[in-house]
Amino acid sequence: MTYHLNGRHLAPEVETVYESLDDAGVRTGGTTFLITRGRHRHRLARDRPATRLAATVMRSPMMGPKELFFADLVATRETPCRSRFGHPGLRDQHAGCVSAHLVEQDLVDFLLLSLPDNDTHSHAHGPDAQVESIAAADAEIARVAEAAGGIDRFFAEWALVVASDHSHALVTRRTDPRPAFEPFGITGPGARRRRDRIAYCPASRAAMVYVLDPADRAELLPRLVDAGRTAEGVELVVWRDREGRGVLSSATDAAVQGELRFRPAAASGRPTDPAPEVDPSGPGEELVRDERGGTWIVSGALGVVGATVQDGVLRSASHPDPLGRCWSALTCVNSGDLLLSAGEGAEFPDWGGIDHLGGGSHGSLRADDAVGILIHHGLADQDDPRGRPELAADAWSIEDATPMILRHFGAGASSSSP
């Protein structure tokens, strides 16, 4: 999956943090992580039967940072570290081991240390069990600090950014929206049947519905919206209307009924110009700004995402940054025609029938899934590492991580770098 994600699906026009830093002459390094694409070609290992088998499938080199250790498939240097092919429970140890080696030998200026075992542990045992797995991850960071000469020297010589890509909500019920869409003919993992008109793609606490034939979209989408509103465990249904506006609509699990329509008041939806030139033109429309600097024209029920507008700024504690996140999803070339966000405690089983009942999960627009961490220390401009003084002090996002890193190294690239 990661191989094709980087080789085929990751937008070529958007630079990764590795590519931006490689172009700036920074010595880059990384451990096993979904996004690996950099400027350096790496051949897959062929030293064991399993790696030789993998190499028959992944025939082209993997593009990555200068120093890349990806499970046991790629290792740019000989180390005593082994991952058993990224086996859960051993990935953090492997990442900490190779990272300590790179730091101790002074081989990198930038290192992406991925510690994914906390996610696996929380999926299995629930969010409250993360204390144990976070302690294990912290031990690997301590290992790297010791390799740098101890904690004091580490903080004196290295900048540090700690980020999570999401949080976890406790799954208390298994709910399946798929039956609501079966009358449309759902294509399965196998060959498409003649009567199949849609694809249904569950992803834990979210799902997407795709219309297979673009010629059917105008006719099917309103009916799919109605089906989504009645589907089990769905809180919000999201799509674009005929005018291109985003729509957030309540479904069976919603506390507030209604629809919220929205569109950017500038081309990007995240403008930095404090005086947008586009004015509301439709009935009931209102011009608002979000906490991340985007300007929007909205109409309808703000309560469907728990939002209020104060002093012209839209805020939601229950569904953080709802407009920016939904617009980003709706305008992604690979997104479905209809997006589903799960209600509190609900999770959608995958095509194999797997769920995380009793454990943790994520993917919805709710704060339980979406609010992560972002900690930084020692950056070049510690007072304003984002370089965006117009943002409120509490208006942070993990979107800020890459721009902060690039500013630290004096490397220029789009703030949308993954």
Cβ–Cβ under 8 Å, residues 32 and 72: no
Residue written as tokens 């997006």?
A: 339
Q: Is residue 46 pLDDT above 70, yes or no?
A: no
**Rounded Cα distance, 19 and 128, in Å:** 37
214 Cβ contact list (under 8 Å, min separation 6): none
pLDDT digits (tens, 9 = 90+) for 286-337: 999 999 999 999 999 999 999 999 999 999 999 999 999 999 999 998 999 9
- Mean pLDDT on 251-277: 76
Task: Output the average pLDDT for the chain.
Answer: 90
d(CA 361, CA 203): 10
pLDDT tens for 164-190 read: 989 999 999 999 999 999 999 999 887
Whether pLDDT at 414 is above 80: no
Distances (CA, A) of 148 to 105, 155, 296, 340, 378: 9, 9, 47, 46, 15
pLDDT value of residue 48: 57
This prediction's pTM: 0.89
Which of 291, 297, 227 shows the shortest CA–CA distance to 261?
A: 297
Rounded Cα distance between 220 and 185, Å, is: 12
Q: Please report the pLDDT score of residue 188 as a whole number.
A: 83
Stretch 345-359: mean pLDDT: 97
Beta strand spans in 86-153 (E): 110-112
Distance of alpha carbon 126 from alpha carbon 171, whole angstroms:
8
Nearest CA to 296 among 246, 334, 340?
246
Predicted local confidence at residue 56, as pLDDT? 55
Question: For residue 391, is pLDDT > 70?
Answer: yes
What is the pLDDT, as a whole number, of residue 1?
55
The pLDDT score that the predictor gives to residue 57 is 57
Residue 299, exposed/middle/buried by CB under 10 A (0-12, 13-18, 19+)? middle
